[in-house]
Amino acid sequence: MPAEIYLIGIAGPSGSGKSFLAKHLATALQADMIELDRYYRDLSHLPLAERARVNFDAPEALEHELLIEQVARLRIKEKVRLPVYDFTTHTRTARTEALQPSKVVIVEGLFTLHWPGLRELLGTKVYVDLDDEVCFARRKARDVRERGRTEESVVEQYQATVAPMARRYVHPTIAHADVVVMGTERIEEGVARVVEHYRQCTGVIACQ
């Protein structure tokens, strides 16, 4: 792939283990990371009660235009300032975080393989697959622990939007993956298969 920065994209349903794989892969490759969750649209113009009713599990909830623009700039080694999102208030903060890419950048999130404009920038496309019941259990634990949610609100959101939107927008993107990792397999095995594809595509073996 004729790019100075190599981009790896990781997609999959909520709770499948995308972030876990991305963190281990970043360590293995000494890579930088971008989470799609940073790019949720700012809802500060709406009352707090209305913000909570927004469908955060559809691609339209993310400012994909900014995401693709910044990833494209990173690909040519430009420094970017990443947005910072506050999940407790559903707003984008005034703070940003600078990223000067090194040799590899990992892009991770639900819809990483959804937008053609993002897919075409990626050297290795990964999909993390996992049974819906396990995904739900992981999602509930995370949102209560890290995002200040109640169990009842998590269950309601999962049934109303998370599961149906995953079936509509996320699950089909497995068709674009170069590597499929199961969320139940040993993390070392998943990392090894992604690294193998990365090495193929960076010149050791011709990229398929």
Task: Confirm whether 180 is domain-assigned.
Answer: yes
Task: Confirm whether 44 is domain-assigned.
Answer: yes
Task: Confirm whether 155 is domain-assigned.
Answer: yes
pLDDT given at position 161? 86
Environment class of 203 (CB within 10 Å of its CB; exposed 0-12, middle 13-18, buried 19+) = exposed
Global pTM value? 0.88
Residue 12 CA to residue 171 CA, distance in Å, equals: 7
**How does residue 64 score in pLDDT terms, banded at 50, 70 and 90?**
very high
Mean pLDDT on 49-55: 87
**How does residue 1 score in pLDDT terms, banded at 50, 70 and 90?**
very low
Task: Confirm whether 39 is domain-assigned.
Answer: yes
From first CA to last CA, the distance across the chain in angstroms is 11
Percent pLDDT > 90 in the chain is 70
pLDDT given at position 206? 42
Q: Of 42, 71, 35, 67, whose CA–CA distance to 56 is shortest? A: 42
pLDDT given at position 208? 44
Task: Say yes or no to pLDDT of 3 above 70.
Answer: no
Task: Confirm whether 14 is domain-assigned.
Answer: yes
Task: Confirm whether 96 is domain-assigned.
Answer: yes
The model's pLDDT over 142-182, given as tens digits with 9 standing for 90+, comes to 777 777 778 787 788 888 888 899 999 999 999 999 999 99
| Residue 163: count of CB within 10 angstroms of its CB | 18
Domain count, the chain: 1
Of residues 184 and 4, the one with the higher pLDDT is 184
Alpha helices in 57-131 (DSSP H): 64-75, 116-119
| Domain with 149 in it | 6-201
- Coil, helix or strand at residue 76: coil
Task: Confirm whether 207 is domain-assigned.
Answer: no
The model's pLDDT over 17-38, given as tens digits with 9 standing for 90+, comes to 999 999 999 999 999 999 999 9
**How does residue 204 score in pLDDT terms, banded at 50, 70 and 90?**
low
What CATH number is associated with residue 87? 3.40.50.300
57 token code pair: 């599990």
Task: Confirm whether 25 is domain-assigned.
Answer: yes
